[in-house]
Amino acid sequence: MLTPFLEQTAKSLSRNDIPEYAFILQPNHPLPSINRIKELMNLTRIILFPGFFGDITVTKDTTVSCLKQIYALLGEQIYNCLCFDDHYDCPQSRAEELTIAFIDKLPEIKRLLATDVEAVHNCDPAVKNYSEVIFCYPAIQAMLHYRVAHELLLMQIPLLPRIITEQAHFATGIDIHPGAQIGEYFSIDHGTGVVIGETCIIGNNVRLYQGVTLGAKGFVYDSAGLPLNVPRHPIIEDNVIIYSNSTILGRITIGHDSIIGGNIWQVYSVPPHSRIVQKKATAAFVDGLGI
């Protein structure tokens, strides 16, 4: 008696003509695998921080072995993502070319991540050594995923970059869109609640604290009422510090060597060397509160 019921339920679940969920695709080819992408990023972390993660002894042979696994996993997931996107054909050779091109970028990704590790170390007196930063700080995990995803996005690979950064978002509470442009020596202290939007441009030696939002103030819509993907997030120039829970919105520029204090709502550009802080409460105001 159970089998007919299950078959009927399966038939109902397979329908794609129900208006409320007709937009959800039912593809006839492999989809990207969340678990396989997690495995890919774990291997990438082992390669980029040799000896810190995984249970292998770092030698030339083990590094080559890891790279071969990365090649197989990444090639598979790139192929699945290309198939998933309506604008691409699915030639296996194209996926292989993109995979090799990405692996060639790994040394530069490692160099950039090393600058991030140094920046976190130099900005936090609680850090005892560089190894502590690599092992413990969520910012480094978030930046590892971001820097990998950003390169894949530049290669015009669909979907995969977002999956990678959202995995880090889930694990760390740090939300960095892979489309953002972030320079060298970038640091995030604590990190929980940080949001960096797709069209942000961030220079070198920038430091953010927890709860900082670099977001959009509003959207430009097309004739169908859908938001256009145009520059809408802040430009943060070199040597800027933004303290906790500040919100910077719109396509504005925070000039180099500026400091934005905590709990600031900023929707206008500021020139270089600015200091934006909340006004202190007056004595009369404090007295009125009985403080």
Q: Which amino acid is at 259?
A: I
CB 105 within 8 A of CB 82: no
> Which residue has 């990678």 as its token pair?
164
Mean pLDDT calculated for residue range 228-239 = 95
290's CB contacts (< 8 A; 6+ apart) are none
Q: Is the pLDDT of residue 240 over 90?
A: yes
Which domains does the chain show, CATH number per domain? 27-174 (1.10.3130.10), 180-279 (2.160.10.10)
Condensed to tens digits (0 to 9), the pLDDT of residues 135-181 reads 999 999 999 999 999 999 999 999 999 999 999 999 999 999 999 99
Mean pLDDT calculated for residue range 55-84 = 89
CB 147 within 8 A of CB 193: no
CA-to-CA distance for 194 and 212, rounded, in angstroms? 5
Residue 269: band (very low, low, confident or very high) from pLDDT cuts 50, 70, 90: very high
Condensed to tens digits (0 to 9), the pLDDT of residues 7-40 reads 888 888 877 778 777 777 777 778 899 999 999 9
Mean pLDDT calculated for residue range 43-67 = 88
pTM above 0.75, yes or no: yes
